[in-house]
Amino acid sequence: MAQKINAGMPDGIDVDETYTIRFAALDPLSGAPVAGVTISLAQIHAASVGQAAGTQLNAGPFIYVPGPND
Amino acid sequence: MAADVTISTGGGQGAPLDYPVPGAVELVLKQLKASYNGASAAGAFVPTVQLLTASGVEVGSWTASQALAAGASADVTWFPGVSSEAATSAGSLTPFYNVLLAASAPSFDIVGIPANGGSLAFITYLRSDEAGVINTEAKVTVNGLSTGSGISYEYWDSRGFTDQSGTSESVFGANGAGSDSGHYSGSWFIMPNYSVIAQDHQFAGYVAKLGQFSDTTSWQTYVVAMQCCIDPGIAVNRVTITPTTAGANWVAGSRVTMYLL
């Protein structure tokens, strides 16, 4: 069973179309990417303050997850 | 009114995993989560979320509290209010900016500093590709402004050196390519009252440097002070840290961490 790790991030990070959010696996000493690591069920939970909604949020391997009111 | 949304991937894919924010989309991040499987990892790794600009420059990086050994797996959740340090480390803080270079880069450019704090605290660990051993120094530019554009810089250190002519400021040391292999210079400095620039020439930043350098004869530690004079109405929203020499780079392994206090 995978261990659970909680990590911190700043509050209120505002990102727009000029940015990429990257989930990475980095060498703890050099900061270089480590090969052979797989990532699944990556999830971004955010407040959408733009006009985009629904499938407009899809990009790369990420897809919008409809909520109960969709 | 902003709507909460969730965007997710399915099965496993090789790291790194990117979400390029689509056009016309603006998000305020609330929580990030991912399952890391290191069964085939080439070595130990730290689960990390990076924020990259359109040109690929890293402007933010948030790491898990621990490295995972090759073969290990973890479900990692990032959210505000949680320290990235060990859970038992009382008093630890979450950095606003924490970038460890995997490859050479010309600067650490900390942008989007919110005007809601009292002080900025920086911890640096630097080595440049400049030829000098101890002559290289980190330069700080505030808000991208040079002297005469609403800001001026003054600098002193314990060697009696004064510099008031720059368009950025030397604030702490950084080892150069001439220093011993693998040696970096550790420093810290604080900018107090960064969001309360209310009067002309208010003292807006100072530096205490504990720069330790390795040259051919000795280890050295000295203290400097930096003063940024900023016109009224200008709060610090950006800090750029570069090597002294134009065109020089920070090498891989250099790191800058900044906290909002």
- Residue A14: its H or E element: strand A14-16
Cβ contacts of B98 on chain A, cutoff 8 Å: none
Residue among B36, B135, B27 nearest A37 (CA):
B36
Point out the least confidently predicted range of A61-70, B71-80, B86-95: B86-95
What's the alpha-carbon Rg for chain A, to the nearest Å? 15
B71 touches chain A (CB under 8 A): no
Q: Could you give the maximum distance between any two Cα atoms of chain A, in Å?
A: 45
Rounded (5°) CA angle B239-B233-B187: 25
What's the mean pLDDT in B150-178?
Answer: 58
Is residue B4's pLDDT more than 70?
yes
Residue B220 scores a pLDDT above 60 = no
- Determine the pLDDT at residue A38: 96
The residue of B1, B4, B7 whose CB has the most chain A CBs within 10 angstroms, and thus the best one to mutate to test that interface, is B7
Nearest Cα residue to B110 out of B121, B94, B118? B121
Look-up of token digits 């407009």: A56
Is B12 in contact with A14 (CB distance < 8 Å)?
no
B200-236 CB burial, b ≥16 within 10 A, e <16 = eeeebbebebebbbbbeeeeeeeebbbbbbbeeebbb
Residue of B nearest to A3 (CA): B74
* pTM beyond 0.80: no
Average pLDDT over residues B201-225: 45
Task: Select the more confidently predicted residue: B165 or A38.
Answer: A38
Per-chain mean pLDDT for chain B:
73
Residue A51 has pLDDT above 80, yes or no: no
Q: Is the Cβ pair B5, A41 closer than 8 Å?
A: no
Check A51 against B15: CB less than 8 A apart: no
What does R_g of chain B's alpha carbons equal in angstroms?
20
ipTM score of complex: 0.93
Asked whether residue B64 carries a pLDDT value surpassing 80, the answer given is yes
Pairing type for strands B73-79 and A3-8 reads parallel
The DSSP bridge partners found for residue B243 are none
pLDDT tens digit sequence for B118-133: 778 888 888 888 876 5
- Please indicate if any CB of chain A lies within 8 Å of the CB of B184: no
* pLDDT tens-place string over residues A7-27: 888 888 889 888 999 999 988
Chain A CB contacts of B81 under 8 Å are 8, 11
Out of B41-50, B56-65, B94-103, B189-198, the most confident range is B41-50
Specify the pLDDT at position B155.
58
